[in-house]
Amino acid sequence: MTNAKMATGKCQLAKGVTMDLSMPKTIRWTVQLAVVALVATSLSGCSYNKFTTQEEAIKAQWGQVQNQLQRRNDLIPNLVETTKGYAQHEEAVYKDIADSRARLLAAKSPEETIQAANQQTSAIGRLLAVVENYPQLKADEQFNRLMDELSGTENRIATERMRYNERIQEYNAATRRFPGNVTAKMFGFKQYPYFAAPNEAQTAPKVSFGK
């Protein structure tokens, strides 16, 4: 505290807020606590608004992920039926795909959707491995068209998944840092799950059409 400030008998607690040093000690402590509470409330309000905005961005991006997952889910029946025309004895693979599709349709939360989507990705990978054993299937025009659509959809899923994870990373990091972590706990802001893709999703589905 400078001499000039001491001479006035006042102490600056915060910008625009001063306290008369001649006040009784109890009153001074009360004023200090009030200033601290005011600052904390201000910071909490800023964090609350930030988290709300980030949550809306997460939900919007999750909607884009769901759109692409649904697009893939809609492609699967035709892909499977075309494959069955040439590979009729791959019941285990077809069952895995049907189970993953039903599980995705029944998912009620992002966690359930992510698990079902990853199961579906793995099942599609097994289907494509089977396709390699059927040259006539790989020459089928409809199958080729469906594979082009699937490949494009997988690329879009990967893009939207990356954007979703970026929104999650920003939000989760903010809710763990002070003073944001206090606000998050106070108002019940939850952590969101990352969409971690299985190894099969690292590259878009490919089938070699060479003889």
pLDDT in tens, 123-146: 999 999 999 999 999 999 999 999
What band does 11 get if pLDDT is binned at 50, 70 and 90?
Answer: very low
- Cα–Cα distance between 73 and 120 in angstroms, integer? 9
Find the mean pLDDT for residues 194-208: 64
Predicted TM-score of the model (pTM): 0.73
Taking 80 as the threshold, does the pLDDT of residue 72 lie above it? yes
The mean of the pLDDT values for the chain is: 80
Provide the terminal-to-terminal Cα distance of the chain, rounded to the nearest Å.
Answer: 86
Name the residue with tokens 């759109």: 67
- Cα–Cα distance between 197 and 64 in angstroms, integer? 16
Look at domain 8-202 and name its CATH class: mainly alpha
Q: What percent of the chain has pLDDT over 70?
A: 72
Residue 88: per-residue pLDDT: 86
